[in-house]
Structure 1
Amino acid sequence: MSLIAQGDYKFFWNIFVKKIYSVENALGFRLDLEHGLKARKALIPISIRESIESDNSNFLDNRTTGLIERLNTCYVAVNKDDVPCFRCWLIDSSQNQKLKSYWGYTFPTLSKDEMLIENVFTNPKFRGLGIFPAVLYQISDLGKKLGAKHTISFGEISNKNTTRSMAYAGFKPYTYRQVKWFLFRKRVTFSDIPDYLMKEYFQTIKGIQ
């Protein structure tokens, strides 16, 4: 079996196991584009542009089921040599039906002045350079220019780096999402953030201004 085939097998096997039983806990983050935008710079010059097919070879470690690629709102951050460093999707309310069709109620219904930032991924070669929060600023600024008043995103509570990057870019937690799989049935709930998670959040972002 080739390495690619082995990778495919492991990836889809993990998805299969996940749907038998799993629990994912995430915070929803929101950025007020009128008052919350914070200009952040990476340690290298970067700019964002729409993704093109040749960019995909830079994100082989970012395995997906192929559904998000059906959304035509993918952007990449590139360095001065136009090498892609980071990839994400900026999704507006016109794609609410696709979001629901592909992922059920995993994401809230977007309002007309709201955009979702999803599937954020930094090329491993460029990690540790502060690219994530810098792109969050640039992609949110693009959302503002496109008419949004807020951008939202979700990050698993266990991923402290994502939480810190969100806070550094000006995003604030606004909801708690739990996704449960049991015997291939999915249940998604949104609720207020429990006090103990807010305490944990403030401890995680301690020192960030």
Structure 2
Amino acid sequence: MDVQGIGATAARYARAARYTVTSGTYRDTAKRIRRRASSTTAAYGLARDLSVPHETPVAKIPISVRPLTDADVPRILDEHAEVDDAERWERHTRVRLLERGIGTPYVAVDPDDDPCYVQWLFGSGENDAIRDFFHGIFPELRADEALLEGAFTPTRHQGRRIMSAGMSMIAEKAADLGARRVLTFVGVDNIASLKGCERAGFLPAIHRCETRRFGRLRVDFRTMGADEVEQARVLKP
């Protein structure tokens, strides 16, 4: 019996329960509990080859990217801000990732240096940490691969195409990690995010299926064929 693993799981659920009570996000928590009990979900793993020239898309406001600082956290990830329950939960999950201290969080900032988008970049040297934190929902990164995860745009900054521009620029930071290929994963039904990823230079490459039954998770990855890739694209060439 993996006592340490059971203890870590129990601590994680206890923290989630405490946050649910203090934040009032009961509906979102209940939804996630039902999904963990029994569900099947599909996602595309999108890939960008950094050796292929790509023109960074232009957001509706001028932005630049830089590493997240301590001063940025309350400005973009305040868990007690006056936002709806769904966004409050999204902020909470990013704070958990930030507290774990893995990956490098980058922010896109406007001309006033106000952070309006955040996303984490992981290199292959963090495979063990990625597997532990995300429970195996991402494939093992090769030495020349990196992963983008945890993308978040506060509601007040949405609709400005900040995601695609910011993501495009953050992806290029992966070259500093020795990566040539960058991966990111998006649910097959999340059309808005799929469009943003394609504008950022990412194309479908992997099909992921997550099956949860009675708390047990099985994850299957399958490389997509050329015809399937074209069918999955939401921005047709």
Q: How many residues align?
A: 205
TM-score, normalization by structure 2? 0.77
Higher RCO (Cα < 8 Å, 6 or more apart)? 1
Q: Does 1:30 align with 2:47?
A: yes
Q: Does 1:205 align with 2:222?
A: no
- Change in CA separation of 1:66 and 1:145 when aligned onto 2, cut-off 3 Å: closer
- Change in CA separation of 1:145 and 1:37 when aligned onto 2, cut-off 3 Å: farther
> Superposed, which structure 2 residues align to 1:73-112 within 5 Å?
73-112=104-143
% identical aligned pairs: 28
Q: Which protein is richer in helix relative to its size?
A: 2
Aligned to 2:150: 119
C-alpha contact 1:23 1:179 (8 A) present in aligned 2: yes
Q: Structure 1: 5+ residue runs without aligned partners? A: none
Higher alpha-carbon deviation: 69-78 or 81-90 = 69-78
The one-letter code sitting in structure 2 at the alignment partner of 1:178 is C
The one-letter code sitting in structure 2 at the alignment partner of 1:130 is R
The one-letter code sitting in structure 2 at the alignment partner of 1:64 is T
- For the residue of structure 2 that corresponds to 1:41, the secondary structure is coil
CA RMSD of the aligned region, Å? 2.4
In 2, the alpha carbon distance for the partners of 1:7 and 1:195 equals 45
Aligned to 2:3: none
Q: Structure 2: 5+ residue runs without aligned partners? A: 1-18, 80-86
In 2, the alpha carbon distance for the partners of 1:41 and 1:130 equals 8
Aligned to 1:39: 56
The one-letter code sitting in structure 2 at the alignment partner of 1:30 is A
The one-character-per-residue Cα deviations of 1:6-36 (angstroms, maximum 9, x if unpaired) are: 4344443333222111221100000000114
- Change in CA separation of 1:196 and 1:146 when aligned onto 2, cut-off 3 Å: closer
Equivalent of 1:64 in 93, 96, 101: 93
Higher alpha-carbon deviation: 45-54 or 10-19 = 10-19
- For the residue of structure 2 that corresponds to 1:152, the secondary structure is strand
- Change in CA separation of 1:65 and 1:22 when aligned onto 2, cut-off 3 Å: farther
